[in-house]
Chains A and B, each alone.
Chain A
Amino acid sequence: MRPAFSVVIFTTLTGAGQGLFLAVYFTELVALWSNAVLPPAIFVTAGAAMAAGLALLGLAASFFHLGQPGRAWRAAAMWRTSWLSREVIVLPLFIALCAAYTAAHHLGGTGFAWTGVFALLACAALFLCTAKIYMCLKFLQEWASPLTLLNFVLLGTASGCTLAVSLALALAPQMLNALCGASMVMTLAALGARAASLARNARLRPKSSLQSAIGVANPRIRQTSQGFTGRSFNTREFFHGATPQKVRAVKWSFLLLVFLFPVVLIAVGMLADSPSLLSIAFPVQYFGLLAERWYFFAQANHPQNIYYQAMA
Chain B
Amino acid sequence: MKQLALVIDLNVCVGCHACVTSCKEWNTSGSAGPLSDQNPYGADPSGTFFNRVQTYEIGVFPDTQTLHFPKSCLHCEDPPCVPVCPTGASYKRAEDGIVLVDYDKCIGCNYCAWACPYGARELDEHKKVMTKCTLCVDRITDQSRAEAERKPACVMACPTNARLFGDVHDPESEVARAIRERGGYALMPEWETRPANQYLPRRVSGSSADGK
| Chain A residues proximal to chain B, CB less than 8 Å | 1, 65-69, 71-72, 74-78, 81-85, 88, 133, 136-140, 207-208, 210, 212-216, 218, 220-234, 236-238, 302-305, 307-308
Q: Is B86 an interface residue (CB 8 A)?
A: yes
Tell which of B80, B121, B188, B189 has the most Cβ of chain A within 10 Å: B188
Known: A75-B107, A207-B190. A68 touches B52 (CB 8 A): no
**The residue from B49, B188, B199 contacting A228, defined by CB atoms under 8 A apart:** B49
CA distance A229 to B43 in the complex (A): 10
Q: Is B201 an interface residue (CB 8 A)?
A: yes
A-B contacts, 26 listed (Cβ < 8 Å): A67-B123, A68-B129, A71-B107, A75-B107, A82-B84, A84-B86, A88-B86, A137-B80, A207-B191, A208-B191, A216-B58, A216-B201, A218-B59, A224-B55, A224-B56, A227-B20, A230-B44, A230-B45, A230-B47, A231-B44, A232-B122, A233-B113, A233-B122, A237-B113, A304-B117, A308-B119
Look across to chain B and name the residue whose beta carbon is closest to the beta carbon of A133.
B111
A220 with B188: CB separation less than 8 A:
no
Look across to chain B and name the residue whose beta carbon is closest to the beta carbon of A65.
B109
Known: A140-B114, A216-B67, A238-B119. A74 touches B57 (CB 8 A): no
Tally of contact residues, B, Cβ under 8 A: 60
Contacts of A77 in B (CB 8 A): 86-88
Q: Is B115 an interface residue (CB 8 A)?
A: yes
Contacts of B82 in A (CB 8 A): 81
Contacts of B158 in A (CB 8 A): none
Q: Is B173 an interface residue (CB 8 A)?
A: no
B54 with A68: CB separation less than 8 A:
no
Q: How far is the CB of B106 from chain A (nearest CB, A)?
A: 7
A234 with B119: CB separation less than 8 A:
yes
Known: A84-B84, A140-B114. A234 touches B122 (CB 8 A): yes
Contacts of B111 in A (CB 8 A): 82, 84, 133
CA distance A229 to B44 in the complex (A): 9
Contacts of A65 in B (CB 8 A): 109-110
Contacts of B53 in A (CB 8 A): 227
CA distance A237 to B60 in the complex (A): 32
Q: Mark B97-124, 1 if CB is under 8 A from A, else 0.
A: 0000000011111110111111101110
